[in-house]
């Protein structure tokens, strides 16, 4: 049986390629292009979409949003292609390609090798990963985020709750769409849910400063107005 060696090769290549894709920090790149500064020295100091919108303006903010999301899609598609090449598409193992790529690209975004391992919080790139698992996972998680962000005007609160709950949505729709139909095993359900919980802990953990400010009532509410630094 060649699966063990092929599986290890597929995982290693997928993780490496996806991590490097994630390490392309578009918030830093576009802020330098449009504002000639490092986004990590501006506003909240986070290399993410919300801080770019607040501190650098609408154009770099929109570009950051689009490209941070797209890099998650690209990494997951590459992961699927690599797993397909090594394992074929008939085995359940093929489905792990999206998870290996999705987690690695988000970690690359958070800890980018090209930018001193100081990146963003991974919300948009995680959203792309959730879309690649199955669209209803992202639809439910984004709806929850949107409701909370609109009601409270705290993007961070919506992001934190959405990050904490996406393992549930992943489990639910994997169960409804794949486990009940016999396409995946119980082992797959357990492992993928654990992987989602692992990533969820990282995304929530990256919001530790926001959590502190929310608890102390000092977190900024979202506005599209460009803050002058």
**Structure confidence by residue, pLDDT tens digits, 203-219:** 999 999 999 999 999 99
Q: Is residue 223 a part of any domain in this protein?
A: no
Cβ-defined contacts of 154-160 (< 8 Å, 24+): 154/214, 154/219, 154/221, 154/222, 155/50, 155/222, 156/50, 156/207, 156/210, 156/213, 156/214, 156/219, 157/210, 157/214, 157/219, 159/121, 159/123, 159/203, 159/207, 159/210, 160/204, 160/207, 160/210, 160/211
**Domain range enclosing 110:** 3-216
Q: Indicate the number of domains in the chain.
A: 1
Residue 229, domain member (yes or no): no
Q: What gap in Å lies between CA 224 and CA 43, rounded to an integer?
A: 14
d(CA 19, CA 109): 8
Q: In this model, does residue 2 exceed pLDDT 70?
A: no
- Domain-embedded: residue 228: no
pLDDT recorded at residue 227: 53
Would you state the torsion angle of the CA atoms of residues 85, 91, 96, 101, taken in this order, to the nearest 10 degrees? 10
225 assigned to some structural domain? no
Judging by beta carbons within 10 Å of its beta carbon (0-12, 13-18, 19+), is residue 127 exposed, middle or buried?
A: buried
Query: Which pLDDT band holds residue 1 (cuts at 50, 70, 90)?
Result: very low
Instruction: Give the predicted TM-score (pTM) of the model.
Output: 0.93
Q: In the structure, what pLDDT confidence band is assigned to residue 91 with cuts at 50, 70 and 90?
A: confident
């Amino acid at each position: 049986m060649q699966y063990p060696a092929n599986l290890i090769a597929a995982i290693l290549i997928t993780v490496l390629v996806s991590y490097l894709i994630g390490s392309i920090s578009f918030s830093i790149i576009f802020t330098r292009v449009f504002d000639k500064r490092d986004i990590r020295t501006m506003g909240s100091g986070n290399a993410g979409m919300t801080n770019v919108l607040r501190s650098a303006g609408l154009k770099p903010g929109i570009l950051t949003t689009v490209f941070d999301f797209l890099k998650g899609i690209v990494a997951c598609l590459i992961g699927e292609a690599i797993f397909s090449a090594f394992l074929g598409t008939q085995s359940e193992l093929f489905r792990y390609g999206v998870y290996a790529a999705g987690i690695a690209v988000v970690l690359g975004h958070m800890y980018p090798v090209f930018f001193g391992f100081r990146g963003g919080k991974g919300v948009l790139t995680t959203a792309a990963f959730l879309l690649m698992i199955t669209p209803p996972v992202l639809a439910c998680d984004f709806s929850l985020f949107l409701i909370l962000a609109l009601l409270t005007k705290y993007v961070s609160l919506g992001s934190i709750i959405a990050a904490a709950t996406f393992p549930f949505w992943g489990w639910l729709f994997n169960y409804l769409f794949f486990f009940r139909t016999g396409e995946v095993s119980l082992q797959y359900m357990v492992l993928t849910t654990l992987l989602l919980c692992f990533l969820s802990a990282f995304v929530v953990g990256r919001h530790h400063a926001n959590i502190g400010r929310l608890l102390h009532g000092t977190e900024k509410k979202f506005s599209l107005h460009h803050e002058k630094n």
